[in-house]
Amino acid sequence: MRPSTVLGALQAACDEADYTSRSYSGRGMYGAKCLGVECDNVIEATVRIVLALTDIFNIKGQDMDLYSHCCAALERGLTDSMGRGIILYFPNVQMDETHNIDMESDDDE
């Protein structure tokens, strides 16, 4: 099955890299939900997710614009400490109640 959204592609990459993705509301998000990934090592998690994304797009012949949007989302990731672990989250990949995403722009228009 081919992912058709940034959320779908990132969730597939997390699954492929053996991470569980979930919704998360980080600092300053005022209850808005975004994609989050629990991990112990942020660098390792990011690299594994990028490698999985690359495999998904190479194997399935995905649209490179979607791949670029996924990489941009990963580039803007933030972290929070959760006591025994870390959550890597992506405020620019917001989820609504139906788990659709909205790639927010950093442009001030």
Judge whether 105 lies within some domain: no
**Within a domain: 106:** no
Averaged pLDDT for residues 15-33: 89
Between CA 36 and CA 34 the distance in angstroms is 6
Q: Is the pLDDT of residue 106 over 70?
A: no
Listed in sequence order, the DSSP H helices in 32-108 are: 42-60, 64-75
What pTM was estimated for this model as a whole?
Answer: 0.77
Q: Count structural domains, the chain.
A: 1
Is 104 within the bounds of a domain? no
**Domain annotation covers residue 51:** yes
Q: Is residue 103 part of a domain?
A: no
Q: In the prediction, which pLDDT does 42 show?
A: 92
Asked whether residue 102 is assigned to any structural domain, the reply reads no
Residue type, 32: A
Total count of residues recorded for the chain: 109
Domain contains 46: yes
Task: Residue 43: give the domain boundaries.
Answer: 6-97
**Predicted confidence (pLDDT) per residue in 44-91, tens digit:** 999 999 999 988 888 666 667 888 888 888 989 999 987 778 999 998
Q: Indicate whether 1 belongs to any domain.
A: no
